[in-house]
Amino acid sequence: MTFCTISFLFGLVGLTIAIAIPRADSITPVLASQVAAFKPFSYYAATAYCQPATVLNKSCGGNCDANTAFQPIAAGGDGVRVQFWYVGIDPSLKTVIVGHQGTDPSKIVPLLTDADFFLKTLNETFFPGLNSSIKVHNKFADQHWKTANQILSATRAALQKSNLTQVTLVGHSLGAALALLDSVSMQQFLPGIQFKTIGYGLPRVGNQAFADYVDANVQLNHVNNKKDFVPVIPPRTLGFVQPQGEKHIQDDLSWLDCPGNDNPDPRCSVGDVKSFSKGNLSDHDGPYDGVEMGGATCKNVTAAASTIHAGCGVFLLVIAFSLLHGPLQVL
Ligand SMILES: *[C@@H]1O[C@H](CO)[C@@H](O)[C@H](O)[C@H]1NC(C)=O
Ligand SMILES: *[C@@H]1O[C@H](CO)[C@@H](O)[C@H](O)[C@H]1NC(C)=O
Ligand SMILES: *[C@@H]1O[C@H](CO)[C@@H](O)[C@H](O)[C@H]1NC(C)=O
Ligand SMILES: *[C@@H]1O[C@H](CO)[C@@H](O)[C@H](O)[C@H]1NC(C)=O
Ligand SMILES: *[C@@H]1O[C@H](CO)[C@@H](O)[C@H](O)[C@H]1NC(C)=O
Ligand SMILES: CC(=O)N[C@H]1CO[C@H](CO)[C@@H](O)[C@@H]1O
């Protein structure tokens, strides 16, 4: 063998190792300034839990008060059959904001609608021209249809009124899943507009083809808090895959950037939460850099909504899932 051949072979081995052991090294800290930049959007995600009327007149409590520049445009949903949503303008952040409510435990119907699911093709009406191999959680898709048209027209109105060219979609839990579906859908109808999506405790929404599409076309960040197990359900064994963009909050409250799909490093959700017994549902609502999600933070909601923790909803969801599908393997 010539020196050249040997070098080449060593090169190949090196390359193979580099490919085989990819991600652990590339996990990097999220800088304090970057963490701080999430905060207004964390307040916006929490705001989506509040009653539309109180979002529209900015009396929803601390989460509304935190974003002083916010100008509401429209809001809707009943929190039972249709998750709350709102659209508004933030001139200081120079973006239109679209917020989606997560699973509110005080509303039993959305809980049950989360329980029995499968992967299905996206509806051509809202996702024109997308490859039919792209599939998502049927219940997320069904929730998305209910508000897609209203939110699209409110977003158009907000863009016109503000003359802005950026839309940021936010949500927590189920709300993060809806924000992600909305971002994929709205891009088809609003060419020339820049979209950003920020999810908190985002569950897996679709299959590998969906994750690939999101990775190529959506500017997504999803923040996972400590041992919250929602980001690792539904399981990969049922064909669900997380898109890229994970930011994982560590036990010491530092944030790490976890590249790739379902990064298995122990500092990222998949590696950190290998099974339900290793997960902690109390982490689902946060705090995300001090911001707590869920209806409990809203002013003037019903007594039930204000006292039950949003995490209970996910717990019931998991119980319902387990009853339907047998014991759940996360990986
Ligand atoms: C905001 O709207 C709610 C619901 O309609 C109403 O009860 C409340 O008085 C309003 N608050 C303000 C400050 O206008
Ligand atoms: C797609 O959504 C539209 C509007 O909601 C609905 O009428 C239609 O039945 C849906 N198509 C499929 C294939 O589910
Ligand atoms: C859809 O995706 C599949 C799998 O990635 C691919 O084989 C197929 O060519 C795609 N179809 C279209 C119309 O792009
Ligand atoms: C709106 O924005 C465009 C470019 O983004 C600019 O050319 C135009 O002057 C703006 N119009 C108003 C009324 O601000
Ligand atoms: C679960 O998380 C909560 C809130 O972060 C914490 O107080 C509790 O000690 C955790 N439980 C376990 C078993 O780690
Ligand atoms: C929107 C709304 O009803 N706001 C009220 C919430 O409750 C406080 C006191 O409990 C009132 O001061 C607000 O006007």
pLDDT, one tens digit per residue, over 13-31 is 444 444 444 445 599 999 9
- Residue with the bigger pLDDT between 311 and 86: it is 86
320 versus 217: the higher-pLDDT residue is 217
Amino acid of residue 288: Y
Ligand found nearest the CA of 284: 5
Average pLDDT, integer, range 67-72: 98
Residue 280 has pLDDT above 90, yes or no: no
Indicate the helix (H) or strand (E) that contains 184.
helix 174-189
- The per-residue pLDDT for 114 is 57
Higher pLDDT, 235 or 253: 253
Interval 47-57 mean pLDDT: 95
Residue 267 has pLDDT above 90, yes or no: yes
In this structure, the residue with its CA closest to atom 14 of ligand 5 is: 280
Which domain covers residue 277, as residue numbers?
32-325
Domain assignment of residue 263, yes or no: yes
Report the pLDDT averaged over residues 31-51: 97
Mutate to test the pocket of ligand 4, among 163, 165, 194 (most ligand atoms within 8 A of CB): 163
194: CB partners within 8 A, 6+ apart? 165, 166, 167, 219
Residue type, 43: Y
Please indicate whether residue 140 or residue 181 has the higher confidence score (pLDDT).
181
Q: What is the pLDDT of residues 188-214, one digit of tens each?
A: 999 999 999 999 999 999 999 999 999
Gap from CA of 222 to ligand 6 centroid (Å): 33
pLDDT in tens, 88-136: 999 999 999 999 999 754 342 344 345 677 899 999 999 999 999 999 9
Q: How far is CA 176 from the centre of its chain?
A: 3
Residue 19: inside a domain, yes or no? no
* Residue with CA at minimum distance from ligand 4 atom 10: 163
Cα of 300 from ligand 6 centre, angstroms: 6
Residue 4 belongs to some domain of the structure: no
Residue 193 placed within a domain: yes
For residue 20, count other CB atoms closer than 10 A to its CB. Answer: 7
pLDDT at 13: 41
Residue with more model confidence, 304 or 87: 87
pLDDT at res. 7: 43
**From the CA of 209, how far away is ligand 3's center (Å)?**
9
CATH number for the domain that contains residue 90 = 3.40.50.1820
pLDDT at res. 39: 98
pTM (two decimals): 0.82
* Pairwise CA distance, residues 324 & 321, whole Å: 5
Q: Check if the beta carbon of residue 294 is closer than 8 Å to that of residue 285.
A: yes
Q: How far apart are CA 199 and CA 222, in angstroms?
A: 4
pLDDT of amino acid 33: 97
Q: Are 293 and 287 in contact (CB under 8 A)?
A: no
Q: Which residues line ligand 3 (CB under 6 A)?
A: 131, 133, 209
When mean pLDDT is compared across 22-26, 64-68, 317-321, the lowest value belongs to 317-321
Decide if pLDDT at 184 tops 60.
Answer: yes
Nearest ligand, CA of residue 91? 4
Whether 272 is covered by a domain: the verdict is yes
Query: Atom 10 (ligand 3): residue with closest C-alpha?
Result: 131
Q: Is residue 37 part of a domain?
A: yes
Q: Answer whether residue 304 shows pLDDT above 60.
A: no
If one residue of 121, 131, 134, 207 were mutated to test the ligand 3 pocket, choosing by the most ligand atoms within 8 A of its CB, it would be: 131
Mutation test residue for ligand 1: of 47, 51, 57, 300, the one with most atoms within 8 Å of CB: 57
Catalogue the E-assigned strands of the chain: 28-29, 71-76, 85-90, 95-100, 119-121, 135-137, 166-172, 194-200, 220-225, 246-249, 255-258
Do the beta carbons of residue 131 and residue 209 sit within 8 Å?
A: yes
Looking at all shown ligands, the one closest to residue 130's CA atom is: 3
- CA–CA separation, 254 and 205 (whole Å): 26
Residue 300 counted as domain residue: yes
DSSP summary character for residue 271:
H
Protein residue with its CA nearest to atom 6 in ligand 5: 282
Residue 301 included in any domain: yes
Number of separate domains in the chain: 1
**Tokens (6 digits) for 113:** 């609608």
Query: 190: which residues sit within 8 A by CB, 6+ positions away?
Result: 152, 155, 156, 159, 167
> Would you say the CB of residue 123 lies under 6 angstroms from ligand 2?
yes
Is the Cβ–Cβ distance between 97 and 90 less than 8 Å? yes
